[in-house]
Amino acid sequence: MSREHVLVTGAGIAGLGAALALGDTRRVTLVDRDRAAPLDDAEDAFLHWERRGATQLRHSHVFLGRLTTLLATRYPALLKELTDCGARIFTFQDGLPPPLRDSYTPRPGDEDLSILFSRRTTLELVMRRTVKRLPNVTILDEAGVRGVLIEGGAVKGLKVERGGVVEDLQADLTVDASGRNTAFPDWLRAAGIKVGEEESPAGILYFTRHYRLRDGAEEPTRDGTPGAGDLGYIKFGVFPADNRHFSITLAIPEIETELRMAVVKPEVFDRVCAEIPGCARWTDAARAEPASQVFAMGNLKSVWRSYSPMPANFFALGDAAVRTNPLYGRGCSAGIVHAHILREVLDATGDPAARAETFAADTRKALRPFYDSMVRQDTLAIRRAANERDPHYQPSWRARAIKSLVEDAIGPATRGDIAVLRAFSRAFHMIDDPNDWWKRPDMVARLIGFWGLPEKYKRARGFYPPKFGPERAEMISKLKLA
Ligand SMILES: Cc1cc2nc3c(=O)[nH]c(=O)nc-3n(C[C@H](O)[C@H](O)[C@H](O)COP(=O)(O)OP(=O)(O)OC[C@H]3O[C@@H](n4cnc5c(N)ncnc54)[C@H](O)[C@@H]3O)c2cc1C
């Protein structure tokens, strides 16, 4: 047991991840401005847990293989408690497209590609429960961090306000896990530290509505109708969750002003869902009933922060350090992985300068490839959304070739070739580098092979997904929007 006391701002996913990662070897205090959940119950947390510090709490969340595997290997009791609470594990085999189901043979590594189906409130509730049981961890709820104590380039603790009284809390190590709206960069800048912020727009707004399966109703069978897709003017996703809940998110480009202003109305949201086959089969009134209003969220962007020089004994984790477009579902996995990187760095050396340097380098190595790949995809999606609105748009040959590569090679190959699906999924789930899989010679050969197959042959074998939904003009007309 180290004698170090770690003071963490934020008891969200990264803060709780830090408590899990460090709590067996260090004394950890989590400080969060919000209240704890009123009752220790998943349904009550979903309905009543007020989290002004984490306003994304009631948006759809998917938890990728990287996070699920980390929980399964390091915290099996936590994962068991989650599933006892109604969360579900959706395996690689469960998600296989129809053409691959009958010939599937499990391979080592497939177990890393399981998704955790859970409302975000349920996951946080159970993580919190586990963390509260750790003897070395304390959670200070309703305690707002108001500033940072800094002396000679080293962070010494925090200014914390509780019940109207501000006090200085000293610590050996200070962690910023205060999420997307962290105030630490401003506080540290004021102390003369340079904070670098690279930003890139996500280009979308998020609209989420929750539903509950009616008594006796079952989830739709997985017949190959995609539960997620991109229509260019709307991206959609169905997020199965715990206890017969599921949610649907419609991500609408910022430039689609009329559409995004309309879709916040529950009746319009449901009408849009009814036009998209992958959503309609879930929201069908005979199968499910709405369980919430439509939640909207904007100001979505990617941000990469770096500190120069990194103040001694200070570490930023999760969204406070690296924020990404929620569409990729990677933020929570990244936050927990980041907390475990911190644990390894702290265990490796006690030297503050070496810790700062290694933490920055290891963060970059683990998370930067994903960040860069998402930013690149966002740039393309923003361009595509603008083109959707332009009736005179004529794609260049390059744009046509990229579209064809995605739609006629990568798409069909991930539905028709298990090796390609595995490689793609390992990148999707943050296990392998997202930029490498499709450059491997064996993958290039397979993708070119699929590209060259006649369309008719690919269609006959179910390698193309059914159409995601109507074209933009048709949807706009059906919704009677300008
Ligand atoms: C709309 C949306 C949908 C998303 N969907 C997914 C998804 O499907 N899958 C996924 O993995 N990720 C998703 N994400 C990303 C994910 O929510 C974040 O990456 C994750 O919550 C980051 O964890 P965190 O602990 O860094 O921050 P948060 O979880 O936001 O926690 C920050 C905590 O800090 C506290 N805090 C803030 N300031 C202070 C202060 N001054 N004093 C005390 N406490 C403070 C807050 O109360 C809060 O509890 C989504 C994000 C958004 C916006």
Across the range 394-401, mean pLDDT stands at: 91
Top mutation candidate among 58, 159, 178 for ligand 1, by most atoms within 8 Å of CB: 178
Per residue in 354-377, pLDDT (tens digit) is 999 999 999 999 999 999 999 999
Q: Which of 298, 321, 310, 341 is nearest to 182 (CA)?
A: 321
Q: Give me the chain's average pLDDT, please.
A: 95
Which residue has the least CA distance to atom 44 on ligand 1?
Answer: 32
CATH of the domain at 222: 3.30.70.2450
Of 373, 405, 423, which one is at a domain's C-terminal end?
A: 373
Taking alpha carbons only, the member of 356, 346, 372 closest to residue 308 is 356
252 and 232, same domain (yes or no): yes
Q: End of a domain among 265, 297, 329?
A: 297
Cα angle 171, 338, 196; round to 5: 80
Do both 44 and 142 map to the same domain? yes
User: First-to-last CA distance in the chain?
Assistant: 65
- Domain encompassing residue 292: 204-297
Q: Assign residue 134 the CATH number of its domain.
A: 3.50.50.60
Pocket test for ligand 1, best of 124, 176, 180, 188 (most atoms within 8 A of CB): 180
61, 161, 295: residue to mutate for ligand 1 pocket, most atoms within 8 A of CB: 61
409 and 432 housed in the same domain: yes
**Same domain for 223 and 194:** no
Specify whether 187 is located in the same domain as 55.
yes
Looking at residue 237, its pLDDT comes to: 97
Residue 380 CB coordination number (10 Å): 13
- Across residues 313-326, what is the average pLDDT? 97
Atom of ligand 1 nearest to the CA of 13: 25
**55 and 143 fall within a common domain:** yes
Angle at CA 434, nearest 5°, toward 332 and 334?
Answer: 15
Are 284 and 326 in contact, with CB atoms under 8 Å apart?
A: no
- Residue 180 Cα to ligand 1 midpoint, Å, equals 6
Q: How far is the CA of 303 from the centre of ligand 1 (A)?
A: 14
Interval 398-427 mean pLDDT: 95
CB burial of 2-20 (b: ≥16 within 10 Å; e: otherwise) equals eebbbbbbbbbbbbbbbbb
HEC secondary structure over 284-323: CCCCEEEEEEEEEECCCEEEEEEEECCCECEEECHHHCEE
Whether residue 262 is predicted with pLDDT greater than 80 in this model: the reply is yes
- Quickly list DSSP for 176-240: E---TT-SHHHHHHHTT-EEEEEEEE--EEEEEEEEEEPTT--PPP-SS--SEEE-SS-EEEEEE
| 391 located within any domain | no
Which of 216, 208, 207, 217 is closest to 284 using CA atoms?
A: 217
Tell me the pLDDT band of 1, cut-offs 50, 70 and 90.
low
pLDDT in tens, 154-203: 999 999 999 999 999 999 999 999 999 999 999 999 999 999 999 999 99
Give the pLDDT confidence score for residue 69 in this predicted structure. Answer: 97
pLDDT band at 229 (very low <50, low <70, confident <90, very high): very high
Q: Is residue 76 part of a domain?
A: no
Residues 288 and 321 in one domain: no
pLDDT at 367: 97
Mean local confidence (pLDDT), 107-130? 97
Total count of domains within the chain: 3
- Whose CA is closest to atom 22 on ligand 1? 319
Atom of ligand 1 nearest to the CA of 183: 41
Q: pLDDT confidence of 309, banded at 50, 70, 90?
A: confident
Region 247-263 average pLDDT: 95
Distance 320 CA to ligand 1 centre (A): 9
Examine residue 428 and state whether it is found in any structural domain, yes or no: yes
pLDDT for the residue 270: 97
Residues 26 and 134 in one domain: yes
Residues with CB under 6 A from ligand 1: 9-15, 31-34, 53-54, 56, 59-63, 144-145, 177-180, 183, 206, 297, 318-320, 326, 329-333, 335
Output the pTM of the full model.
0.96
169 C-alpha to ligand 1 centroid (Å): 23
Distance 415 CA to ligand 1 centre (A): 33
> Which of the four pLDDT bands, split at 50, 70 and 90, describes residue 440?
very high
> Lowest-confidence range among 327-336, 379-388, 431-440?
379-388
382 pLDDT exceeds 70?
Answer: yes
Say how far apart CA 345 and CA 327 lie, in whole Å: 30
Please enumerate in sequence order all residues whose Cβ is within 8 A of that of 132, keeping only pairs 6 or more positions apart, or say none. Answer: 139
Position 126 pLDDT exceeds 70: yes
Residue 180: the pLDDT is: 96
Please compute the mean of the pLDDT values over residues 330-346 and round it to a whole number.
Answer: 98
* Per-residue pLDDT reduced to its tens digit, 56-102: 999 999 999 999 999 999 999 999 999 999 999 999 999 999 999 99
Q: Is 175 helix (H, G, I), strand (E, B) or coil?
A: strand
Residue 207 in tokens? 């609209």
* Residues 403, 338 within the same domain: no
Structural domain contains residue 455? yes
Helix 331-348 to helix 13-22 angle, to the nearest 10 degrees?
30
By three-state DSSP, how is residue 150 classified? Answer: strand
Note the pLDDT of residue 38: 84
Q: Is residue 106, in this structure, part of any structural domain at all?
A: no
Q: Does a structural domain hold residue 378?
A: no
Question: Cα–Cα distance between 37 and 43 in angstroms, integer?
Answer: 11
Give, using CA atoms, the residue closest to atom 41 of ligand 1: 145
319: pLDDT strictly greater than 90: yes
Within a domain: residue 245? yes
| 169 and 314, same domain (yes or no) | yes
Last residue of one domain, picked from the residues 297, 324, 350: 297
Do 130 and 44 lie in a common domain? yes
Query: Which one, of 355, 344, 346, 319, lies nearest residue 334 by Cα?
Result: 319
Q: Which atom of ligand 1 is nearest to the CA of 146?
A: 41
Atom of ligand 1 nearest to the CA of 182: 38
Would you say residue 103 lies in a domain?
no
Same domain, 177 and 128: yes
Highest mean pLDDT among 271-280, 378-387, 460-469, 473-482: 271-280
pLDDT at 453 over 80: yes
